[in-house]
Amino acid sequence: SQGLSSAKAAEILVRDGPNLLTPPKATPEIVKFLKQMIGGFSILLWIGVVFSWISFGIQLAQGAESPFDNLYLGVVLALVVILTGIFAYYQEAKSTNIMASFSKMIPQQALVIRDGEKKELPADQLVVGDVVEIKGGDKIPADIRLIFAQGCKVDNSSLTGESEPQSRSCDFTHENPLETRNIAFYSTTCVEGTATGIVINTGDRTIIGRIASLTSGVGNEKTPIAIEIEHFVYLVAGVAVSIGVLFFIISVSMRYKILDSIIFLIGIIVANVPEGLLATVTVSLSLTAKRMAKKNCLVKNLEAVETLGSTSIICSDKTGTLTQNRMTVAHLWFDNQIYSADTSEDQTTQPFDQSSPSWTALSKIVTLCNRAEFRPGQENLPIMKRVVVGDASETALLKFAEVILGDVMNIRAQKKKVAEIPFNSTNKFQLSIHETDDPNDKRFLLVMKGAPERILERCSTIMINGKEEPLDSEKAEAFQTAYMELGGMGERVLGFCHLYLPENEFPDTYLFDTDSMNFPTSNLCFVGLLSMIDPPRSTVPDAVSKCRSAGIKVIMVTGDHPITAKAIAKSVGIISATSETVEDIAKRLNIPVEQVNREATAAVVNGMELKDMSSQQLDEILCNHSEIVFARTSPQQKLIIVEGCQRQGAVVAVTGDGVNDSPALKKADIGIAMGIAGSDAAKNAADMVLLDDNFASIVTGVEEGRLIFDNLKKTIAYTLTKNIAELCPFLIYIITSIPLPIGTITILFIDLGTDIIPSVALAYEKAESDIMNRRPRNKRKDRLVNEQLAVYSYLQIGALALGAFVTYFTVYAEQGFLPSTLLGVRVNWENNAINDFEDSYGQEWTKYQRTYLQWTGYTAFFVSITIQQVADLIIRKTRRNSIFQQGLFRNKVVWVGIFSQIGIALILTYGLGHVTALNFTPLRFQYWFVAVPFAILIWVYDEVRKLFIRRYPGSK
Amino acid sequence: MATLNEKKTCSERMENFRRFVWNPETKLFMGRTLINWVWISLYYLAFYVVMSGLFALSIYCLMRTVNPYEPDYQDQLKSPGVTLRPDVYGDRGLQIYYNVSDNKTWEGLVTTLQTFLTAYTPAAQHLNINCTSDTYFFQDAFDGPNKTKLSCKFTSDMLQNCSGITDPTFGFPEGNPCFIIKMNRVSTSSREACSLLYKQGDEPRLLEVDYYPVNGTFNLHYFPYYGKKSQPSYSNPLVAVKFLNITRNVEHRIVCKVIGAGITFDNVHDPYEGKVEFKFKIED
């Protein structure tokens, strides 16, 4: 066929659009942006802005002398909100972009016939009517109707959940497009064979496109960290508003003017709101996200970083995630003995005993009776990484042989194949006849492999230690035992036999005819069994045991057979070596399953049972068993399992790759899509993408997530502490009428200037103890900001306001105003009409001179807070351990933070000290050291506290 | 997440809150036992007592280290401020407007001057000594009573026509009003000579005025100022200015600068440093 012409295709492409799934409708950018503008503390700050402008308006109307101060304050506050909003928006957009770039990294190609020529085209260029060719290993590029098929099998598991490949032909067999055999679906894979088909649907109109659009119906839940931050915002906002209102009332009843009271209110709000904190949290999360991306966890949604850390149940796929997703020879049986093969990812040798002549015979069959071939040009790649054309079992055998014997292709070439019967489902064997490479031996060798019981039927002898012995009932029994044992391990078992054809009957000119079978296919010599399994990844058992010690329950959810599933679960430790299922107990005690009255820790639940279960029954299973495997489940049942886990109050992580997994991925607290095997729909629905499809990467992710939660606690504690130091000046100013110790603008310089880098630096802090030996946090009890943290920060370490006040009084005293003179001076101090204000030494001050002194006071207060925040930063490095246990210099970034903090303070004081609007003045150098004793005191106090915490753990 | 977002009814919330305040089963009051609360309160009490103690100690140390006679630094008082009497402030600084024919507009100004000068009566100045030297009055020793230093006498009669003694209305009704210029006290060991110069408007020019004391200078023997503790009875020397031939019904912008070594008047932010600016208008 000629296929479409390029011009026609282009025309249809314009009409139908590219062959892509439309990603779920994203929130409009402007909405996202506005959300950042009004989310969190922004509302409080906007209130501050409005109040500033209102008081500006009132002052302007009253013709007051300097109404513009309030206008500027309002503008600055608005700028703060807008800038932090833009920053948060930018951060979020950046992390989304990582995802976008990722999905573009692997463009899918399709082999299309256009203008009568075969062309490789990006799959998104396909249009309805295109003729495409598909071969084993390809992803189906669109919904196609087959017009030619040869041994074509497709893996529809991502669509229907059926894990067995299904054969496809050109015959129309069913009305339902999902059932008929002549349609292959977009995003499913062709496992073997070749086919040619005509594209009938593209993009969103494909079956999978329709399912994907349904997925967007499952709502997104709030992430645990979002809940925690909301909780924290409410807490701080509550404190801010209540203190603000309380002091508004106090100041009004103290006969301050309403206007002044409003200005105080703004100051209190600004002092209470950690303006920079949410930006800091975002930065910390994105730093962690970056770190996780390096460990193959690509996080789409920043908040998911922490969700992973609070995960308490992981529902994991088996194939590809826990296993290597390739069949590998695991066991051999010959000479009446079972041998184990190495199943690790990078095998280079096989250690089992290869001296027996039986093995030599078996290896010949394995090599010759195999149609799989390496793609050429891969000689330099490790054997396990080479691409093979052929089905999974044959590939496994080919690689197995290649590892042991080397250059299989050459061996085959030397033993020329003269006839072959490929495997089919009726005779369940594969046969080939070869010449030998021994010039003295003119016999043909007939080799056969297939289902063990079928092979055994065709044998009359069995090879033991290289000698053919008659196959008596005792030997047949031994075979049965081995077969059952290997099958019981969930492995796919193949039997192998051979026969040297007698030279006289089959001379080398003999013409073999596979249709008439003019050669013997019975009374063969049985040689051995090989069993294969998709082996667990070597890192997984360790990762599972890590999960266990971290209190995370790992549940396997697979479409595979229960026996295989259980075998893999046992080998990776999801079902531990000592625990038994109800069935195991029954079998051991030799009683029916119903009579087992002891609770089993492990359970293997079949998808068929699950179908008939009520949600209470499911809850019971989830509650009562610590080790659960769900086998033969469909992707839809995955959703039910996830919901069941969530009913237990667990934070559930779910892995998935298929399109039908997407609802479960969305429903899960954190959906983890497979980067290699995963469909785009799954990746879209997921919060995280595992770039290497490896379960172990999830565990590293969990570790990072827990670490960031701990570190965010530290960051918040660090930030909250200075709130008191910023708030006290206002409260004391209102009550005792001293000159204002610190200005609103100055506070903003602390919150958004000196404190930002140090608080981010805490995100780099290493874990204090093995965080993977802790249970996952209880999302209802272990809050990000709890009462203890807030109280300790506010009421105890908050006493660092003291040091700042001492500095403030020192500056005023040394310039002429002794502390006693300062009390109650506010009204005269701020009076523009008094230009000969007397100090403690009888000197007289103009208004500007006083104001300048006030700014010096601001600067001194600011500097003291900065100095004490250095101590605060150091104590916040740990929550239980002594700083000396944690190491003062291990986290270099903290030191960057400390130097930046002091550097910024120096620049503000001496560099910008002459810019009037900023209210900084160059400060005498000695004032930098007034607060140092207080900083040291904070450190010592906290070390003592931590000592008590370590001595008496658990006390409140 | 569903479990976290369970909607609770209002009564359930209230019940939960009541249970939090007082849980009869566990005998917990706001999440702690009563005795626990007592301990916590005691701890905080002790904590804050210690903190207050530390603060008091710091302030005590501070008071011990500061110089009782003169401030340690005068970073903001590089140059003394200058003020004017009568001092009536409008939206933009000093504004002295009055109507010659309307008593009420200037009586307040006259009272301000009279009140101001009560500190300069001979009775108020009786502790101070008469000084005649025209140089700085340096005192290293405490020669005055109660370990103080002596201060020079400045009495209102030195202001002659503007003293309020000969003319109790300070020339206001005649349209030739007196203004009194005062330089802020600043504790400094040496202060250079000072004199006055008047300028007006955008094109600076001298106004036709009489100065009292003549030449409009602060005599050097009033300086230096040793601080309140050393010179408790010190009073600032004054210069009075009597305006002559003022154009009526016109607003005059007047700057009065103190010229002297160590006195600057070019600080753009401070209109009262080393100078005093004011607006002045006499109406008929």
Highest mean pLDDT among A141-145, A383-387, A672-676: A141-145
Looking at the structure, tell me whether residues B59 and B130 fall in a common domain. no
Chain B residues in contact with A848 (beta carbon < 8 A): 267, 269-273
Residue B13, domain member (yes or no): no
From A778's Cα to the closest Cα of chain B, the distance in A is 11
Looking at the structure, tell me whether residues B130 and B202 fall in a common domain. yes
- Answer whether B195's CB lies under 8 Å from B249's CB: no
Instruction: Determine the Cα–Cα distance for residues A538 and A554; give it in Å rounded to an integer.
Output: 17
Could you tell me how far CA A258 lies from the centroid of its own chain? 53
Question: In this model, does residue B204 exceed pLDDT 70?
Answer: no
> To the nearest whole percent, how much of chain A has pLDDT over 90?
14
Q: For A188-217, what is the mean pLDDT?
A: 77
pLDDT at B215 (0 to 100):
76
pLDDT at B49 (0 to 100):
94
Whether residues B185 and A843 touch (CB distance < 8 A) is answered with yes
Q: Flag whether residue A25 sits within 8 Å of chain B, measured between CB atoms.
A: no
pLDDT band (50, 70, 90) for residue A333: very high
Question: In this model, does residue A217 exceed pLDDT 70?
Answer: no
**3-state secondary structure labels for all residues of A472-519:** CHHHHHHHHHHHHHHHHCCCEEEEEEEEEECCCCCCCCCCCCCCCCCC
pLDDT at A896 (0 to 100):
92
pLDDT band (50, 70, 90) for residue B1: very low
Question: In this model, does residue A161 exceed pLDDT 60?
Answer: no
Question: In this model, does residue A103 exceed pLDDT 60?
Answer: no
Element housing A201 (H / E): strand A189-201
From A931's Cα to the closest Cα of chain B, the distance in A is 11
Instruction: Determine the Cα–Cα distance for residues A752 and A274; give it in Å rounded to an integer.
Output: 9
pLDDT band (50, 70, 90) for residue B85: confident
Q: Which residues contact A686 (CB under 8 A, 6 or more apart)?
A: A300, A656, A665, A671, A672, A673, A678
pLDDT at A598 (0 to 100):
65
Reported as a single tens digit per residue, the pLDDT across A861-882 is 999 999 999 999 999 888 888 8
Looking at the structure, tell me whether residues B44 and B102 fall in a common domain. no
Reported as a single tens digit per residue, the pLDDT across A760-781 is 899 888 888 778 888 888 877 7
Reported as a single tens digit per residue, the pLDDT across A509-530 is 888 888 888 888 888 999 999 9
Backbone angles phi, psi at A499, to 5 degrees: -160, 130
Reported as a single tens digit per residue, the pLDDT across B108-139 is 899 999 999 998 988 888 888 888 887 888 88
Chain B residues in contact with A849 (beta carbon < 8 A): 76-77, 81, 270, 273
The pair of structure tokens assigned to A549 is 């010690």
Looking at the structure, tell me whether residues B180 and B115 fall in a common domain. yes
The closest alpha carbon to A791, from A657, A945, A629, A655, belongs to: A945
Name the closest residue on chain A to residue B76, using Cα atoms. A849
Q: For A306-326, what is the mean pLDDT?
A: 85
Q: Is A572 exposed, middle or buried (0-12, 13-18, 19+ CB in 10 A)?
A: buried
Question: In this model, does residue B180 exceed pLDDT 80?
Answer: yes
Instruction: Determine the Cα–Cα distance for residues A874 and A868; give it in Å rounded to an integer.
Output: 10
Whether residues B225 and A63 touch (CB distance < 8 A) is answered with no
pLDDT at B3 (0 to 100):
38
Q: For B182-202, what is the mean pLDDT?
A: 61
**Peptide bond before A23: cis, by omega within 30 degrees of 0?**
no
Instruction: Determine the Cα–Cα distance for residues A809 and A820; give it in Å rounded to an integer.
Output: 10
Looking at the structure, tell me whether residues B34 and B132 fall in a common domain. no
Instruction: Determine the Cα–Cα distance for residues A772 and A770; give it in Å rounded to an integer.
Output: 5
Reported as a single tens digit per residue, the pLDDT across A795-823 is 888 887 889 999 999 999 999 999 999 99
**Better pLDDT: A255 or A658:** A255
Question: In this model, does residue A105 exceed pLDDT 60?
Answer: no
**Better pLDDT: A243 or A685:** A243
pTM of the model: 0.80
Looking at the structure, tell me whether residues B50 and B186 fall in a common domain. no
- CATH number at B179 reads 2.60.40.1660
Chain A residues in contact with B275 (beta carbon < 8 A): none
Residue B237, domain member (yes or no): yes
Instruction: Indicate the residue among B65, B95, B117 that finishes a domain.
Output: B65
Whether residues B272 and A848 touch (CB distance < 8 A) is answered with yes
Strands A189-201, A131-135: pairing is: antiparallel
Instruction: Determine the Cα–Cα distance for residues A837 and A843; give it in Å rounded to an integer.
Output: 8
Q: For B235-245, what is the mean pLDDT?
A: 86
Written as one letter, the residue type at A140 is I
Per the structure, the complete domain to which residue B54 belongs is given by: 23-65
pLDDT at A527 (0 to 100):
92
pLDDT band (50, 70, 90) for residue B203: low
Task: Give the CB-side neighbour count of residue B99, counting CA atoms within 13 A.
Answer: 6
Cα dihedral across residues B223, B229, B230, B233: positive or negative: positive
Active site residues per annotation of A: 317
Reported as a single tens digit per residue, the pLDDT across A404-430 is 888 888 888 888 888 888 887 777 888
Q: Is A200 exposed, middle or buried (0-12, 13-18, 19+ CB in 10 A)?
A: middle
Looking at the structure, tell me whether residues B105 and B219 fall in a common domain. yes
CATH class belonging to A311-323+537-693: alpha beta
Question: In this model, does residue B5 exceed pLDDT 50?
Answer: no
Q: Flag whether residue B261 sits within 8 Å of chain A, measured between CB atoms.
A: no
pLDDT at A517 (0 to 100):
82
Chain B residues in contact with A221 (beta carbon < 8 A): 1-2, 5
Question: In this model, does residue A201 exceed pLDDT 80?
Answer: yes
Residue B233, domain member (yes or no): yes
Question: In this model, does residue A660 exceed pLDDT 80?
Answer: no
Looking at the structure, tell me whether residues B29 and B108 fall in a common domain. no
pLDDT at A148 (0 to 100):
86
pLDDT at B64 (0 to 100):
92
Question: In this model, does residue B190 exceed pLDDT 60?
Answer: no
Q: Which residues contact A834 (CB under 8 A, 6 or more apart)?
A: A828, A847
Chain B residues in contact with A836 (beta carbon < 8 A): 81, 83, 182, 184
pLDDT at A819 (0 to 100):
92
Q: Chain-wide mean pLDDT for chain A?
A: 84
Looking at the structure, tell me whether residues B40 and B170 fall in a common domain. no
The closest alpha carbon to A158, from A207, A100, A226, belongs to: A207
Question: In this model, does residue B7 exceed pLDDT 60?
Answer: no
pLDDT at B238 (0 to 100):
87
Backbone angles phi, psi at A153, to 5 degrees: -130, 140
Instruction: Determine the Cα–Cα distance for residues A780 and A224; give it in Å rounded to an integer.
Output: 10
Residue with tokens 């089992």: A352
**Looking at chain A from residue 903 to 922, which residues have their Cβ under 8 Å from any Cβ of chain B?**
916
Question: In this model, does residue A372 exceed pLDDT 60?
Answer: yes
Tell me which CATH homologous superfamily contains domain A709-955.
Calcium-transporting ATPase, transmembrane domain (1.20.1110.10)
Residue B58, domain member (yes or no): yes
Q: For A435-447, what is the mean pLDDT?
A: 83
Residue B17, domain member (yes or no): no
Q: In degrees, to the nearest 5, what angle opens at C-alpha A410 toward C-alphas A405 and A416? A: 115
Write the residue in A63, A649, A809 that is nearest to B62 by C-beta: A809
Domain with CATH 1.20.1110.10 in chain A: 709-955
Reported as a single tens digit per residue, the pLDDT across A469-487 is 888 888 889 999 999 999 8
| Paired residues of B239 in beta bridges | B181
Q: Which residues contact A197 (CB under 8 A, 6 or more apart)?
A: A131, A132, A134, A144, A145, A146, A147, A148, A184
From A766's Cα to the closest Cα of chain B, the distance in A is 29
Written as one letter, the residue type at A259 is L
Instruction: Indicate the residue among B38, B65, B92 that finishes a domain.
Output: B65
Q: Which residues contact A939 (CB under 8 A, 6 or more apart)?
A: A871, A874, A875, A883
Looking at the structure, tell me whether residues B36 and B137 fall in a common domain. no
Whether residues B2 and A646 touch (CB distance < 8 A) is answered with yes
Reported as a single tens digit per residue, the pLDDT across A837-855 is 999 988 899 989 999 999 9
Looking at the structure, tell me whether residues B90 and B33 fall in a common domain. no
Question: In this model, does residue B96 exceed pLDDT 80?
Answer: yes
The closest alpha carbon to A369, from A463, A462, A455, A498, belongs to: A498
Q: Flag whether residue A940 sits within 8 Å of chain B, measured between CB atoms.
A: no
pLDDT band (50, 70, 90) for residue B196: low
pLDDT at B145 (0 to 100):
80
pLDDT at B4 (0 to 100):
41
pLDDT band (50, 70, 90) for residue B19: confident
pLDDT at A104 (0 to 100):
47
Q: Which residues contact B48 (CB under 8 A, 6 or more apart)?
A: none
Residue with tokens 């069959």: A365
Tell me which CATH homologous superfamily contains domain A328-341+357-376+388-533.
Calcium-transporting ATPase, cytoplasmic domain N (3.40.1110.10)
**Peptide bond before B213: cis, by omega within 30 degrees of 0?**
yes
Question: In this model, does residue A635 exceed pLDDT 80?
Answer: no
Segments of A774-846 assigned E as strands: 837-838, 844-845
CATH class belonging to A6-20+108-217: mainly beta
**Better pLDDT: A22 or A543:** A543
Highest mean pLDDT among A673-687, A701-715, B265-279: A701-715
Could you tell me how far CA A7 lies from the centroid of its own chain? 44
pLDDT at A793 (0 to 100):
84
Q: For B215-232, what is the mean pLDDT?
A: 83
Whether residues A814 and B71 touch (CB distance < 8 A) is answered with yes
Q: For B272-284, what is the mean pLDDT?
A: 85
**Better pLDDT: A97 or A240:** A240
Q: Which residues contact A689 (CB under 8 A, 6 or more apart)?
A: A99, A102, A297, A298, A300, A672, A673, A674, A675, A678, A683
Instruction: Indicate the residue among B8, B34, B65 that finishes a domain.
Output: B65
Helix pair angle (A68-105, A277-294), 10° resolution: 10
The pair of structure tokens assigned to A344 is 């690790």
Looking at the structure, tell me whether residues B112 and B44 fall in a common domain. no
The domain total for chain B is 2
| Paired residues of B255 in beta bridges | B199, B277
Rg of chain A, C-alpha, whole Å: 37
Highest mean pLDDT among A261-275, A472-486, A574-588: A472-486
| Paired residues of A155 in beta bridges | A189
Domain with CATH 2.70.150.10 in chain A: 6-20+108-217
pLDDT band (50, 70, 90) for residue A102: very low
Element housing A399 (H / E): helix A392-405
Count of Cβ atoms closer than 10 Å to residue A255 Cβ: 8
Q: For B231-241, what is the mean pLDDT?
A: 87
pLDDT at A307 (0 to 100):
87
> To the nearest whole percent, how much of chain A has pLDDT over 70?
94
pLDDT at A221 (0 to 100):
66
Strands A844-845, A313-316: pairing is: unpaired
Residue B12, domain member (yes or no): no
- Answer whether A282's CB lies under 8 Å from A91's CB: yes
**Peptide bond before A933: cis, by omega within 30 degrees of 0?**
no
